[in-house]
Amino acid sequence: MTGKETEVKIVVPAFRPFRRQLREAGFRLKRRRVFERNTILETEPASLRPNGCILRLREAGGRFTVTYKGKATVAKHKSREEIEFEVSDAAAASTLLQRLGYLPRFVYEKYRTEYIDSAGGIVTLDETPIGLYAELEGPEDWIDATAKILKIADTEYITASYGALYLRWCEAQALVPGNMVFEGPIAIGKAD
């Protein structure tokens, strides 16, 4: 799949009331809660990050995808090129990418539930080690209209990646960043 991804994140204090709002707004469940393990790959020295791009290998519910995300245009919303395809053998895909020089650099985990409305826009609920978030993904006008229906002000929009949010969280906790995972240390320890 090749296309343009446009999205915003928001902090969600609790999922139960937010799910109720989604149902009342006409959203229906597209994909039940599934665990995701995302590995960001990069060369040494870095060739993608300096250009605002990422390469990701994702495992979600027994499915594996490779995703390239181009440099983002960030204003009120974040938009970027996205090329994504499913792979049948994650180990082979990982080995191939490593042979090309793309090594694992950051792992982040989440549980994701997806909802869709009649216009085709997607709202995901993400349970992460650093908090609860929703992502609204679709055309900019759909995002803004949906946010209004859900009583979300555009001042609540977050355009940062989970990696950037994790780094901010570690800084606020005075922790040295590691990987954003549920089990084991999500940070290496206290910063000096």
Q: pLDDT tens digits, residue range 152-189?
A: 999 999 999 999 999 999 999 999 999 999 975 454 44
Residue 183's pLDDT is what? Answer: 77
Is the bond preceding 17 in cis, omega lying within 30 degrees of 0? no
Q: Which domain holds residue 83?
A: 2-190
pTM: 0.90
The helix (run of H) or strand (run of E) holding residue 18 is: helix 15-24
Q: Which residues of 111-127 are buried (b: 16+ CB within 10 A; e: fewer)?
A: ebbbbbbeeebbbbbbb
Identify whether the C-beta of residue 134 lies closer than 8 Å to the C-beta of residue 9.
Answer: yes
Query: CB neighbours of 155 closer than 8 A, spacing ≥ 6?
Result: none
Domain count along the chain: 1
- The CATH number of whichever domain residue 128 belongs to comes to 2.40.320.10
Tell me the per-residue pLDDT of 134-149, one tens digit each, with 9 for 90 and over. 999 999 999 999 999 9
In angstroms, the CA 124 to CA 84 distance is 18
Cβ neighbours, 10 Å, residue 163: 17
Tell me the per-residue pLDDT of 31-66, one tens digit each, with 9 for 90 and over. 999 999 999 999 999 999 999 999 999 999 999 999
